Amino acid sequence: MARFLKALQGLHSDVPEATPPQEAPSGSSDRSPEVSNEPSAAEATPPGESPARPVAQTIVMPEQAQEPEAKTPPQPAASPEQNELIQKLTLQLASMLKQRDKVAREVSQVKEELASHDRRHEDELIGLRDTLETHQQSSKAIEANLKAIQTELRSQLQKQQEEFTQKLSEVELRVQAQSAAPAVAKDSKTEQDMQRVREQLASHDKRYEQEIVRLRDTLETHQESAKSIQTQLLKELKRQEDSFTKKLSDVEQRVKHQAATASTREVSTAEAVQPKQSEPTQMTAEASMAFKAQVRASETVKPIPVPDALHREIASLNSTDFSQELVPLCDTIFGTVQLSSVTEPMVIFLGTCVPGRDTSGLALRLASWLSLNKCNVFLIDGELRNKTLSQQLGLKSSSGLFETVRRETYRQDGTYRDNDLGISVMPAGKSSFMLTNSEQDLASLRDQIREILKTCSIVLIAGEGPNTPASWLLAQVANKTYLQANLGSVSREDIQAAVDCYHRVGVDPAGLIATSIRN
């Protein structure tokens, strides 16, 4: 552009000037064309002559030299140290991103667990409150029933006293009327009538006195029973309140611990988070042993509806061959001590080696043998699926083990007894649900076994196959566990699998009972 302006200035000037040839810039292959000038008139004409025409100047504009394209200077090659440093930084960045994503996932998972724990704890609190209200309502209903019984007894007693007084007055009037009548010749028939009346009066007096004494004893018995029931209700309510308070504190501590753990994980997002693994709880046979039996007053229990199965087993023990086969087995299980004076508690669990079988027949046989040896035995039906033992005794639809462990009923309401045989029975329960191998069920079952051993020195639990959580739970509260194997239908692999199942929950079976009769 500057060259173009300079050429224009040369055109307009009065004195033309020759444009010197311009050299192309260094490094360029193009050269600018030179400007050619016509010879001036002074040089073309001789001196003293005027020029014939004006001088014309031709300017040739040089083409603008094309500047070479700017080339990018070559980058210096990176050194191996720099490449290695870049690679390390890249790997560290990728690792930190992965750790950040992992921590974010774990934080979200912890938040979800906290939310689920909160919901579950709220449900547990609601359930505990409902249970407490139900027990309070049941206690009020029992108190109302006791008051109604007392009122009815008083009314019956008063009514009988009034009837007795009325009859007595009628007899006195008849006697006075007969004594006031004119003296007549008394025959033998009149004397017999008088004697009969006197005997009737004496019998009525005696009968009414006995009835009054019986009613007073009944009233006192009901009053004592009412007091004992009220005491038990107060103890049960107190225990439930303590348990409820303990559960609330445990829930609060767990929630606080989880919240603290979650906050710690959120703060340490740059660190690698490794989940903390809890050590498996080791359950030994010693931890499942119950307490020693204690002396306790007898409780009023309900009779067994259909005790025919027990009577049949006792009758079958009169067989000499059968008794000789059973005695060595009982000596192995219970020892050779005098059973009528047992002081150490025994809790025996009888299970099977394969699923779908039960030990009801074996349990009835052992309970009958103990009964013949004057031993107080408590029999529990632990087969919660089929309830075979409960069905044989007419207790399939009665409350029992499940309701007692879940504290849906009192232990006395789920216990039945035959006083002549000295055998108490707790059926499986009327519920179709199953017990689980949880800490709550285990603690509740241990409490119930502890209370049972205060009145019975030997507890027999008739269980089922090794594939149910109820069998694992019942085996953990027993002193000894024996597995029943039917000859010809159980293999060595089945026995080993059953033993392994109980080993997983910390139970070591004490022995194997081979039977030839299928229960």
For residue 452, the SS3 value is helix
- As a whole number of angstroms, the distance between CA 224 and CA 240 comes to 24
Same domain, 203 and 345: no
Within-domain flag for 406: yes
Q: In the listed set 267, 285, 314, which residue is the last one of a domain according to the structure?
A: 267
Tell me the pLDDT tens digit for each residue of 178-190: 766 554 444 566 7
Predicted pLDDT of residue 38: 44
Same domain, 203 and 143: yes
Same domain, 250 and 354: no
Same domain, 250 and 382: no
Count of residues in the chain: 519
- As a whole number of angstroms, the distance between CA 276 and CA 234 comes to 44
The residues, ordered by sequence, that sit 6+ positions from 86 with a Cβ below 8 Å of its Cβ are 78
Within-domain flag for 504: yes
Within-domain flag for 51: no
Same domain, 318 and 459: yes
- As a whole number of angstroms, the distance between CA 163 and CA 480 comes to 63
Predicted pLDDT of residue 364: 92
Predicted pLDDT of residue 101: 92
Predicted pLDDT of residue 294: 37
Within-domain flag for 66: no
Same domain, 327 and 378: yes
Same domain, 349 and 465: yes
Same domain, 172 and 317: no
- Nearest residue to 421 via CA among 481, 453, 354, 376: 376
- Nearest residue to 359 via CA among 335, 331, 392, 332: 392
Within-domain flag for 91: no
Within-domain flag for 77: no
**CB count in 10 Å sphere of residue 459:** 23
Within-domain flag for 258: yes
Predicted pLDDT of residue 138: 85
- As a whole number of angstroms, the distance between CA 371 and CA 460 comes to 12
Residue 374 sits in which domain range? 302-515
- As a whole number of angstroms, the distance between CA 209 and CA 203 comes to 10
Predicted pLDDT of residue 304: 92
Tell me the pLDDT tens digit for each residue of 225-279: 778 787 877 887 778 777 777 777 776 677 667 666 655 554 443 343 333 333 3
Report the CATH number at residue 416: 3.40.50.300
Same domain, 206 and 318: no
Pairing of strands 458-462, 377-381: parallel
Same domain, 158 and 250: yes
Same domain, 351 and 431: yes
- As a whole number of angstroms, the distance between CA 115 and CA 186 comes to 102
Within-domain flag for 96: no
Q: In the listed set 215, 243, 267, which residue is the last one of a domain according to the structure?
A: 267
- Structural domains in the chain (count): 2
Same domain, 342 and 480: yes
Residue stretches of the chain with pLDDT short of 70 = 1-78, 179-189, 251-252, 255-256, 258-300, 319-324, 336-343, 517-519
- As a whole number of angstroms, the distance between CA 204 and CA 164 comes to 8
- As a whole number of angstroms, the distance between CA 258 and CA 252 comes to 10
